[in-house]
Chains A and B, each alone.
Chain A
């Protein structure tokens, strides 16, 4: 499991460091799954006993899975998915406006200075 998480993190970092807008977004989504897996690891994975209180018992069996991280992961997945959808639309609109998907050439909000000493004028 740890090995799987490290592989996912490595893949996510590699994609996120790319210049291509969509690779950055996909890379961050992959990293998000790695973070979710880390939270999930806290839930005693490996047990097959579901976290349900038996009839008549007052508390969970000691071997049951911990239900809390599963709830946490669910919340994290929802938030991550919402952000992913937003980012995909944002990326699509950037590509449509600029005609390219190169994040190094995104310079409208921070224009490159032509003068070596003075910063460029921002036009409204």
Chain B
């Protein structure tokens, strides 16, 4: 039953926090307790998977492959743990953020609903189950978007809704067609069925529909405009969770489907994915270069980082899959941390736009240090997590003779450095402008958020300084990937 705990615990917490809508203190307590329980069960699950291998539960009183299966392998269990860590960090940061009472009452159930959906997507071993849980994610995010209640929140929610609904429908159509062709939805059964030669003609077309749906949800070029249009209207702690996790979940599903479940992915699809990855990287980082609002800069960087993940998927070897998964871990942590830091910059300076703020280095030296850790990680300066992720990815690209792909990834790293130094120079280094907002906001030193950022930063540092255990784990997790790819 441990396999189900990452979705049962947050669901139960969501229910309890929704029932406690009128008791703010008790609600926060229950919410924190739920996050702690999720963290504990995720750690236990990872330990159990490390000892006993893949754990699975079949629900519905049917034998496999007809039962609804949830399974935790080394990859899923590690991602569930990261979800729990980022969820706990974001929750900690919301504690003294100064939300209105009404918004806060809705916040806790929706955050836990989002955690449950994310955990369940990582654990689902069934295509339709994956679709259902994947649907719960945008539903929670839509709820979180409209909580703010202002005009721009509603607009952001509408844009998010329209695009995400389109992705959902593509996914549903793809699932239906794949079931029609193979007669199976379970991952294990699909792996066997997709190897049948008589399906080699039709299956890639159906699979293409699914890939398109998840590319849209991941924010790949040219379907990324919804992301920087909506994310920045969320409050910073929620943005850390949403921006840190959601698009990466779609990238994980792509890796799982193409690399693990469907064994006969045609080479031309991977070739196209690789070029798409390059354009995604470039358009994300160039979009970030234009913007001055910290949240929007970081939102465009999400798009750019998704490009790296897609590149790793397109390279289609076990080593590339290991690099992709390491990069995925790094990116979830660093991105969530950077969004939290952006929130703290706002709390200290009173504005998100770099033209209106400044002087944060003398005012908040600790914050400056924490920003540097995450910014260097995002850029990929050795010995940070970003360096190891990019190093593994680029080594694989150059070994395969993909010089253009690898070279572009390097150039995008330089442009990332440009954006990060812009935030550093304008936000921390230059003196506070005279026409800027009048100093700090009432919640000037949200201690809980500082604690969350420090914990995440330490984790990032540890993962960068001692990468071997993590790399060993991801290499073990992805050893069986891409076993039957057609080149």
CB-nearest residue of chain A to B135: A79
Q: How many residues of A contact B (CB 8 A)?
A: 41
Chain B residues near A75 (CB-CB < 8 A) = 128, 132
Contact of A121 among B154, B168, B355 (CB under 8 A): B355
Contact of B166 among A28, A36, A82, A122 (CB under 8 A): A28
CB-nearest residue of chain A to B171: A35
Closest 6 CB pairs of A and B: A39-B176, A42-B180, A109-B152, A108-B152, A35-B172, A38-B176
Chain A residues near B292 (CB-CB < 8 A) = 118-119
A93 CA / B153 CA spacing, docked (Å):
11
Q: Is A69 an interface residue (CB 8 A)?
A: yes
Within 8 A of A (CB), among B163-218: 165-166, 168-170, 172-173, 175-177, 179-180, 185
A32 CA / B176 CA spacing, docked (Å):
13
Q: Is B336 an interface residue (CB 8 A)?
A: no
Within 8 A of B (CB), among A24-59: 24, 28, 31-32, 34-36, 38-42
Offer 7 A-B interface pairs, CB within 8 angstroms, sorted by A. Answer: A41-B176, A69-B180, A83-B161, A86-B142, A109-B230, A110-B229, A119-B291
Shortest beta-carbon distance, B359 to chain A, in Å? Answer: 18
Q: Are B355 and A35 in contact (CB-based, < 8 A)? A: no
Q: Are A87 and B229 in contact (CB-based, < 8 A)? A: no
Q: Are B172 and A106 in contact (CB-based, < 8 A)? A: no
CB-nearest residue of chain B to A33: B169
A122 CA / B296 CA spacing, docked (Å):
10
Q: Are A98 and B151 in contact (CB-based, < 8 A)? A: yes
Mark each residue of chain A from 74 to 106: 1 if its CB lies under 8 Å from any CB of chain B, else 0. 011001001100110011011001100001001
Q: Is A7 an interface residue (CB 8 A)?
A: no
Shortest beta-carbon distance, B351 to chain A, in Å? Answer: 8
Binding site for B on A (CB under 8 A): 16, 21, 24, 28, 31-32, 34-36, 38-42, 68-69, 72, 75-76, 79, 82-83, 86-87, 90-91, 93-94, 97-98, 103, 106-110, 118-119, 121-122, 124
Q: Label chain A's interface by main secondary structure.
A: helix
Chain B residues near A93 (CB-CB < 8 A) = 154
Binding site for A on B (CB under 8 A): 128, 131-132, 135, 139, 142, 146, 150-159, 161-162, 165-166, 168-170, 172-173, 175-177, 179-180, 185, 229-230, 232-233, 290-293, 296, 351-353, 355-356
| Given known contacts A82-B139, A110-B229, A119-B291, A39 and B158 CB-to-CB distance under 8 angstroms | no
Q: Are B159 and A106 in contact (CB-based, < 8 A)? A: yes
Contact of A28 among B153, B155, B162 (CB under 8 A): B162
CB-nearest residue of chain A to B131: A76
CB-nearest residue of chain A to B149: A93
Q: Are B179 and A121 in contact (CB-based, < 8 A)? A: no
Contact of B158 among A76, A90, A110, A118 (CB under 8 A): A90
Contact of A32 among B161, B169, B296 (CB under 8 A): B169
Q: Are B154 and A90 in contact (CB-based, < 8 A)? A: yes
Chain B residues near A107 (CB-CB < 8 A) = 155
Chain B residues near A103 (CB-CB < 8 A) = 158
A68 CA / B185 CA spacing, docked (Å):
10
| Given known contacts A32-B169, A109-B159, A109-B229, A38 and B355 CB-to-CB distance under 8 angstroms | no
Q: Are A21 and B158 in contact (CB-based, < 8 A)? A: yes
CB-nearest residue of chain B to A83: B165
| Given known contacts A35-B172, A121-B356, A83 and B229 CB-to-CB distance under 8 angstroms | no
Q: Are B169 and A28 in contact (CB-based, < 8 A)? A: yes
A107 CA / B154 CA spacing, docked (Å):
11
Chain A residues near B157 (CB-CB < 8 A) = 90
Chain B residues near A79 (CB-CB < 8 A) = 132, 135
A35 CA / B170 CA spacing, docked (Å):
8
Chain B residues near A31 (CB-CB < 8 A) = 166, 169
Q: Are B177 and A109 in contact (CB-based, < 8 A)? A: no
Q: Are A94 and B154 in contact (CB-based, < 8 A)? A: yes
Q: Are A97 and B176 in contact (CB-based, < 8 A)? A: no
| Given known contacts A75-B132, A97-B154, A121-B356, A69 and B162 CB-to-CB distance under 8 angstroms | no
Shortest beta-carbon distance, B298 to chain A, in Å? Answer: 14
Shortest beta-carbon distance, A8 to chain B, in Å? Answer: 12
CB-nearest residue of chain A to B180: A42
Contact of A109 among B146, B156, B169 (CB under 8 A): B156
A35 CA / B168 CA spacing, docked (Å):
9
Q: Are A35 and B169 in contact (CB-based, < 8 A)? A: yes
Given contacts A32-B172, A87-B165, A121-B355, 14 further A-B contacts (CB under 8 A): A16-B162, A28-B166, A34-B169, A38-B172, A39-B173, A72-B176, A76-B131, A83-B135, A90-B154, A97-B151, A108-B152, A109-B230, A121-B356, A124-B352
A87 CA / B292 CA spacing, docked (Å):
31
A44 CA / B218 CA spacing, docked (Å):
33
Shortest beta-carbon distance, B217 to chain A, in Å? Answer: 15
Shortest beta-carbon distance, B103 to chain A, in Å? Answer: 14
A121 CA / B176 CA spacing, docked (Å):
45
A110 CA / B353 CA spacing, docked (Å):
14
Shortest beta-carbon distance, B165 to chain A, in Å? Answer: 5
Chain A residues near B153 (CB-CB < 8 A) = 109
CB-nearest residue of chain A to B293: A122
Shortest beta-carbon distance, B125 to chain A, in Å? Answer: 16
| Given known contacts A35-B169, A35-B176, A90-B146, A122 and B353 CB-to-CB distance under 8 angstroms | yes
Q: Are A39 and B155 in contact (CB-based, < 8 A)? A: no
Chain B residues near A42 (CB-CB < 8 A) = 176-177, 179-180
Chain A residues near B156 (CB-CB < 8 A) = 109
Contact of A39 among B150, B170, B175, B355 (CB under 8 A): B175
CB-nearest residue of chain B to A5: B173
